Amino acid sequence: MVHATFIAPFVEFEFMRRALVGVLALALSAAPVGIFLMLRRMSLTGDAMAHAILPGVAVGYLVAGFSISAMTLGGLVAGLVVAVLAGLVARVTALKEDATLAAFYLLSLALGVILVSVRGSNVDLLHVLFGNVLAIDDSALVLLAGIATVTLTTLALIFRPLVLDTVDAGFLASVSRSGGVAHIVFLGLVVVNLVGAFQALGTLLGVGIMILPAVSARFWSSDINVMLPVALLFAITGALCGLLVSYHADVTTGPAIILCLGAITLVSLLVGRAGGLVWKLVPRRHLEA
């Protein structure tokens, strides 16, 4: 029973093994990025950015048909352009980053949908919007592994300025000029991870594997050093669960992964030790000090 449910799908089918490796690599890089998105109050920024990569994906599709590499490259370029423009506009003008991004992503999304609809079918559009993790090939796996490597290395490099820029930006500005650079590099990491996630989960759901584990982890710890591994554990569990549910129930994989991650968030929200609802409702004796 256990073997048939949890092991057999991966032993028997190569596409399931590829999907497993792909989502594990994605979880490894997306979860820590999601923690910082949430702590920097940029959860919806991630969502906006996910929409922003669509025109690039569409241009890749128009140029080379349904080629994962061309669409990935297009998405990467579009996402980075929007991220850097939005970051710069927010830093040098009075406009806040959320408003800047909203303006840019709406334009991008509209442009992307028109570009896809000019040549593609509705099936293609659905594929771009919601991904297909079971179609991950060798080049996609290499890309996801590369994204995970780059993300974790870069996050280690900008960890201190990223934390300090969030907690006390005034102090960081007084000791270092790295706050602005860290912010732009971080936006770049968000884009790179969204592009990776687009292959597995599509442009619309890709941000889910970043934000949902981060939100869940917030209910289990108040220390960022603990939240990071907890979010990683949740991302891996949710991805694995989603793959298995998709296989056994014969439902679309991307949404299945997101629903599994959502279920973890729901449980965390209810019983998480750091602010879960149940602990607020259950009367407990106060402490000595």
Partner 1 sequence: MAVGALRFRDLTLGYDRHPAVHHLDGAVAAGALLAVVGPNGAGKSTLLKGIAGTLLPLGGTIDRDGLDPRRIAYLPQVADLDRSFPVTVYDLVAMGLWRRSGLLGSIGRRDREQIEHAIAAVGLTGFEVRTIGSLSGGQLQRVLFARLILQDASIILLDEPFTAIDAKTTADLLAIVHRWHGEKRTIVAVLHDLDVVRSHFSETLLIARKPVAWGRTADVLTAENLFKARRMIEAPDPHAVACEHAA
Provide CB contacts within 8 A for 114, sequence distance 6+: none
Our CB check for partner 1 shows the closer of 40 and 81 to be: 40
Our CB check for partner 1 shows the closer of 221 and 252 to be: 221
The tokens for 251 are 């439902």
Site string for partner 1, 41-60 (x = CB under 8 A): --------------------
Our CB check for partner 1 shows the closer of 50 and 214 to be: 214
Our CB check for partner 1 shows the closer of 44 and 259 to be: 44
Cα dihedral 57, 207, 234, 239, rounded to 10, equals: -30
Give the nearest distance from C-beta 75 to partner 1 in angstroms: 29
Please count the helices (runs of H) and the strands (runs of E) in the chain.
Answer: 15, 0
Site string for partner 1, 215-254 (x = CB under 8 A): ---x--xxxx--x---------------------------
Binding flag, residue 160, partner 1 (CB under 8 A): yes
Give the nearest distance from C-beta 230 to partner 1 in angstroms: 11
| 262, burial (CB in 10 Å: exposed 0-12, middle 13-18, buried 19+) | middle
Our CB check for partner 1 shows the closer of 230 and 245 to be: 230
Residue among 152, 148, 150, 172 nearest 160 (CA): 172
Provide CB contacts within 8 A for 34, sequence distance 6+: 46, 209, 210, 211, 212, 213, 214, 231, 235
Give the nearest distance from C-beta 34 to partner 1 in angstroms: 14
Distance of alpha carbon 6 from the chain centroid: 25
Our CB check for partner 1 shows the closer of 138 and 288 to be: 288
Binding flag, residue 39, partner 1 (CB under 8 A): yes
Q: Please work out the total of residues on this chain that contact partner 1, with binding judged by CB under 8 A.
A: 26
Residue among 256, 146, 148, 139 nearest 202 (CA): 256
The tokens for 113 are 């949908």
Residues that bind partner 1 (CB under 8 A): 39, 94, 156-158, 160-161, 163-164, 166-171, 173-176, 178, 218, 221-224, 227
